[in-house]
Amino acid sequence: MRPKDEVRLAKIRKISWVLGAICSLFMLACLIAFILSMTGPIFRHGRYWGKGILWQGYNGVEFKVYSLTARERVIVAISLVLEYGAAFFCGLQLFRLLRFYSRGEIFTADSARQLRLWGFACVAWGIVKVGWFLLPLAIADSRHYQRVDIGSTVFVGLGIVALSWIMEMAVEIREENELTV
């Protein structure tokens, strides 16, 4: 490898390691946010239970927590599991991809496959976001309190999947180049 390429590879490895660490924090944040949501006023009886009209918001959707029925709480619980689960899964796939890059394995079949997995994870997260956006249709005492971005994650995911196909071609070219004496 040329010295210029070695310097570039070293930089990529370093940056990938840092991004991987940030990814780990993101996954941890997802986990903490999920635990806080599940132990929040929607599912836990606090001292003001049954009094007042407390609105609690999660990811752009607000719930009138004290008037939710049991069925609605189950729907919200499942939606929260899907929402944070999809985000965590997306972060995990990105973390695995960055781990390949931090080892210098950029144009390999495994990293191209992992890139595709990350793309599909983003698409799944985008679809789950759409479901979360439609939650007020299923739950009477809920509303949107801020604009929710519902489409971009799906398109970004599809773009990443397309990029993975290009990466697979790059892997073939690299392998052919390595076997050129």
Residue (70 or 179) nearer to another protein, CB:
179
Segment 140-179, which members bind another protein (CB under 8 A)? 176, 179
What is the C-alpha separation between 122 and 152, in angstroms, rounded? 10
Residue of 103, 124, 105, 99 lying closest to 171 (CA atoms): 105
Shortest Å, Cβ 175 to another protein:
8
What is the C-alpha separation between 89 and 54, in angstroms, rounded? 32
Residue (51 or 176) nearer to another protein, CB:
176
Residue (146 or 180) nearer to another protein, CB:
180
Q: Is the dihedral of CA 98, 100, 106, 112 positive or negative?
A: negative
Shortest Å, Cβ 177 to another protein:
9
Shortest Å, Cβ 181 to another protein:
5
Determine which helix (DSSP H) or strand (DSSP E) holds 57, and give its type and residue range. Answer: strand 55-58
Sole residue written with tokens 């986990």 = 31
Instruction: Assess 1 for contact with another protein (CB under 8 A).
Output: no
* Binding site residues, another protein, CB under 8 A: 176, 179-181
